[in-house]
């Protein structure tokens, strides 16, 4: 939207602008609410990382939580500057993160274990190169949405094989947050002109950041629960923002076992 104060970062060069007036509160922050709404994502990812390290999960889960933090930080920088280069630093990690989710979701059933991570790594590198040279715009959004849709059937299969009611609640929270967050994103894009005439802008894109921060956290916690059962643990879900707080190693259980 139109600018308020003068810009420290120069003119806007990103291909997207969101429904928030630029440089209202500071000449160093283009979109104030869209910038600081990423803070919950950093905090929740850090909590998940600590839990993954404490429970001695595979490194893939630690990398997943770190990728959540990197994505949130990249989004903060992008919305603070609204420059093309920083936009790349936001959008490219979005795709890399989804490739990591695909690996974690589908790797237990993958027969050739080395081929899947190799393919996903090459795919991520090629995408980063192409996206840095071309203004993909709408194509990027479609591509990202397709990657998200690839994850949903597998998440649903995990949900069906899970019997623990507390763990199923994590799955439902994952679905609710992604649906509500998507509605906020769409509302911000479709009704911006109407919102700009309101006394108070609902900041739909900032709400998208917040809901997706919790979405990632609930998804990670649910995947960690299922992985714990695959490894023969007896996981218990203790709720502090969905945090799994304790495990007991017992005989393997068939619940949520997909491989």
Annotated binding residues for Zn(2+): 79, 205, 209
101 close to 73: Cβ distance less than 8 angstroms: no
Q: Which residues are annotated as a binding site for Ca(2+)?
A: 18, 20, 22, 31
State the helix-helix crossing angle for 204-230 and 39-54, rounded to 10 degrees. 10
Cβ neighbours for 18, distance < 8 A, ≥ 6 positions apart? 1, 31, 34, 79, 188, 192, 205
CA distances from 99 to 41, 148, 149 (A): 19, 9, 12
**Rounded CA separation 80/7 (Å):** 10
Partners of residue 234 on adjacent β-strands: 248
**Rounded CA separation 79/60 (Å):** 28
3-state class (DSSP) for residue 212: helix
Q: Which residues are annotated as a binding site?
A: 18, 20, 22, 31, 79, 205, 209
161: left (phi over 0), alpha (psi -120 to 50) or beta: alpha
Q: At 169, list the tokens.
A: 């609640």
169: left (phi over 0), alpha (psi -120 to 50) or beta: alpha
232 close to 245: Cβ distance less than 8 angstroms: no
**Rounded CA separation 112/115 (Å):** 6
């Amino acid at each position: 939207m139109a600018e308020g104060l003068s810009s420290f970062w120069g003119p806007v060069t990103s291909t997207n602008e969101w429904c928030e007036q630029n440089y209202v509160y500071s000449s160093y922050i283009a979109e104030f609410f869209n910038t600081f709404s990423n803070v919950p994502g950093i905090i929740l990812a850090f909590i998940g990382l600590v839990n993954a390290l404490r429970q001695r999960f595979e490194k893939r889960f630690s990398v997943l939580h770190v990728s959540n933090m990197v994505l949130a930080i990249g989004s903060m920088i992008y919305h603070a500057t609204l420059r093309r280069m920083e936009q790349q630093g936001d959008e490219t990690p979005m795709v890399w993160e989804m490739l990591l989710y695909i690996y974690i979701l589908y790797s237990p059933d993958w027969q050739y274990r080395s081929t899947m991570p190799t393919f996903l790594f090459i795919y991520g590198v090629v995408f980063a190169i192409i996206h840095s040279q071309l203004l993909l715009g709408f194509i990027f959004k479609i591509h990202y949405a397709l990657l998200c849709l690839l994850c949903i059937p597998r998440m649903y299969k995990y949900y069906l094989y899970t019997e623990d009611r507390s763990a199923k609640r994590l799955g439902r929270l994952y679905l609710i947050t992604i649906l509500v967050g998507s509605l906020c994103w769409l509302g911000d894009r479709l009704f911006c002109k109407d919102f700009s005439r309101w006394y108070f802008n609902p900041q739909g894109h900032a709400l998208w950041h917040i809901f997706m921060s919790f979405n990632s956290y609930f998804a990670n916690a649910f995947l960690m629960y299922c992985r714990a059962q695959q490894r023969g643990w007896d996981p218990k879900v203790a709720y502090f923002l969905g945090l799994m707080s304790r495990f007991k190693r017992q005989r393997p259980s068939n619940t949520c076992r997909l491989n």
